[in-house]
Structure 1
Amino acid sequence: MTEPRWLDVSTPDVTLKALSWGPDDAPIALCLHGFPDTAHGWRKVAPRLVDAGWRVVAPFLRGYAPSTTSTDDSYHVGALMDDALRVLETAGATGRDVVIGHDWGAIAGAGLAAMPESPFTKAVIMSVPPAGTFRPLRGLPDPARLAARLPRQLLRSWYITYFQLPWLPARSASWVVPRLWRQWSPSYDASEDVALVMDAIGAPENWRAALGYYRATMRGSAPPPRYADLHRYWLARLRVPTLYLHGADDGCASAEYTHWVKPALPEGSAAQIVSGAGHFMQLDQPDRVARSIVEFLGDPAG
């Protein structure tokens, strides 16, 4: 397979760079990465999707070089959704396109899949349960079982609380990034990916942007008006058929959350736990992940 091409996307707030694999006239599989990762994290799955008839377009999220940081200082989910829609438009929407999101990309992808008139026919959400799964809390199945998971999840999510502290987190990229890769995908040799991540968010202004995702969400700050309409959908129930994937060995969030995600998905959806996979399943189990995605999406030609 040839090397990916570069796609430039200009918005009023950021300039985005995206990698593109496959023919320009094929339906688009828009792949959104998370933290701490980059668009290069799709490099093992992309060839398999292209072989199945898709064009893979994977942007570097705002703040992740070579994409720029936000002039609005907005790292809200609504901003990520807006960026994704602009990438789709620039790449050339076909009406048969799908969104595939991992981690923060999963959060944005879930918001895009919850839009009343989503431009995507299907979605694949990986490693992070859609927020709408747990809204409202009343009526969730097995509430005691869910509550029992919370203490361990709080320990796993130590970094989220740490990122809210003043000045100290800003000096922590060099040890936080490799530690999270070891903790989240313990059986995967992440040396190449950690280097790619440090190239993208190792500089102070980029690391500050990466922290901004967690600060904007945890502090509940309002997004700029240009993103407000989209932002409200990230907490809503999904509307398009969705495949939810979670790695059995994920050290970030337990695969057991799939128990609550599955009944909350719309008709035509599915949920799978990928054996032998950690948080970064698209890298440590690319064949299994790609096979599940291709089977769920079906023929891109319709």
Structure 2
Amino acid sequence: MPQYAQPIHRLVPSPAGRVHLAEQGSGPLVLLLHGFPESWYSWRHQLPVLAAAGYRAVAVDVRGYGRSSRPAGDAAYRMAELVEDAAAVVHALGERTAVAVGHDWGAGIAAHAALLRPDVFRAVGMLSVPYAPRGGPRPSEAFAAMRGGGGDEFYVSYFQEPGRAEAEIEPDVRGWLAGFYAALSADTMPAADAPDPHFVSPGGTLRDRFPAGRLPAWLDEDDLDVYAGEFERTGLRGALARYRNMDRDWEDLAPWDGAPVTQPSLFIGGTRDASTTWLADAIDAFPTTLPGLVSSHLLEGCGHWVQQERPGEVGRLLTAWLAALPAA
């Protein structure tokens, strides 16, 4: 881990129990939300940068991850519950408002926090996954239709079946995580003509298509130890439950069908991230779906783990955007 002051760690109350957070700095609150399969540690580079720029930077373990509560039952992990966790953290820290910044699933939580709780979240930053309003067919049906060659199954459908991905991952958490991180990193992802690691062959597993033998440049053995240690302790059920609530979210969010997020916003993605290429239409729709968009950036040659692959660029973009926001 780089040499800087260690963040303060603590637990704060939330609707599901307790949320673990890591905190540095003082000033306006910036709430950092990670994706799958990560933790607060995904923001280790940004915490000191934001603190040095005069912000109170708080990175949480999302419900189901790390040292946060892991309630029973998949329905406890629906988007509306995670939004209320985010709002509860802000209030537990003695603040009225915050800026939400998320990566991957955390980008979705941040965007929906701004949509559902505009009284709390005054601006939103999204990394890797662009905002797309609720709409279209039921998600499980849409993902089931995304078949690759030879009947390959899309990874989201694979993750949605309870117990199936856990049976693949949990016997070798460390090895699986190393392969998954490498599969979506710009410097280690499979070649364009190799089998796509986002799909599972009939009778196979997701890791069958992961690259082996080399960690991406942003991830050393100590970093991998942090991630693996948490998931070896907790298992993957809480983390995978997010995928198992997409239909519930679609039902819950029906009143916001097609709704834009109007607060000041930021998007940062990588040109080699499938999230930005598959969702290019969502990025093109930003003038309608994110009318408050301040800046949008695609980092050339960057993969999915944006704030870890390009920590310096992301830190500069975040602090410049935050500095331009209206005062809280």
> Residue deviations 1:275-302, cap 9 Å, x none?
2322111111011111111111216793
In the alignment, residue 169 of structure 1 is paired with which amino acid? Answer: A
Name structure 2 gaps, 5 residues minimum.
Answer: 138-145, 188-215
119-128 or 247-256, which deviates more: 247-256
Q: Which of 313, 316, 320 in structure 2 is aligned with 1:288? A: 313
Matched, 1:277 2:306: no
Q: Secondary structure at the match of 2:321?
A: helix
Matched, 1:267 2:292: yes
Q: Which residue matches 1:65?
A: 66
Q: Which residue matches 1:238?
A: 261
Contact 1:29 1:55 survives alignment (8 Å): yes
How much has 1:11 moved relative to structure 2?
2.7
Q: Which residue matches 1:143?
A: none
45-54 or 192-201, which deviates more: 192-201
How much has 1:38 moved relative to structure 2?
0.7
Of structures 1 and 2, the one scoring higher in RCO (CA 8 A, sep 6+) is 1
Q: Which residue matches 1:196?
A: 226
2: CA distance, partners of 1:46 / 1:99: 14
How much has 1:117 moved relative to structure 2?
3.1
Q: How does the TM-score come out when normalised to structure 2?
A: 0.74
Contact 1:37 1:193 survives alignment (8 Å): no
Q: Which residue matches 1:111?
A: 112
2: CA distance, partners of 1:45 / 1:237: 28
Q: Which residue matches 1:40?
A: 41
1: CA distance, partners of 2:242 / 2:257: 14
> Residue deviations 1:179-220, cap 9 Å, x none?
3211211323334443322222234x5411111110111x43
Q: Which residue matches 1:178?
A: 178
Q: How does the TM-score come out when normalised to structure 1?
A: 0.80
State the 4+ residue runs in structure 1 displaced beyond 6 angstroms.
none
Contact 2:135 2:257 survives alignment (8 Å): no
Contact 2:15 2:84 survives alignment (8 Å): no
Matched, 1:220 2:248: yes
How large is the Cα RMSD of the aligned pairs? 3.0
Relative distance call for 1:208 and 1:197 in structure 2 (3 A) is same
Relative distance call for 1:136 and 1:266 in structure 2 (3 A) is farther
1: CA distance, partners of 2:40 / 2:153: 23
Q: Which residue matches 1:146?
A: none
In the alignment, residue 232 of structure 2 is paired with which amino acid? Answer: G
Contact 1:77 1:108 survives alignment (8 Å): yes
In the alignment, residue 296 of structure 2 is paired with which amino acid? Answer: A
Name structure 1 gaps, 5 residues minimum.
Answer: 138-149
Q: Which residue matches 1:298?
A: 323
1: CA distance, partners of 2:108 / 2:121: 15
Matched, 1:165 2:189: no
Relative distance call for 1:60 and 1:260 in structure 2 (3 A) is same
Relative distance call for 1:104 and 1:52 in structure 2 (3 A) is same
> Residue deviations 1:243-296, cap 9 Å, x none?
011112214542745642432311353211122322111111011111111111
Q: Which of 190, 195, 211 in structure 1 is aligned with 2:240? A: 211
Q: Which of 77, 89, 92 in structure 2 is aligned with 1:90? A: 92
Contact 2:147 2:153 survives alignment (8 Å): no
2: CA distance, partners of 1:71 / 1:120: 28
2: CA distance, partners of 1:294 / 1:240: 17
Q: Which residue matches 1:14?
A: 17
Q: Which residue matches 1:145?
A: none
In the alignment, residue 164 of structure 1 is paired with which amino acid? Answer: Q
Contact 2:32 2:60 survives alignment (8 Å): yes
Relative distance call for 1:202 and 1:118 in structure 2 (3 A) is farther
**Count of matched residue pairs:** 277
How much has 1:238 moved relative to structure 2?
0.6
Q: Secondary structure at the match of 2:45?
A: coil
Q: Which residue matches 1:102?
A: 103
190-199 or 264-273, which deviates more: 190-199
Relative distance call for 1:8 and 1:232 in structure 2 (3 A) is farther
281-290 or 170-179, which deviates more: 170-179
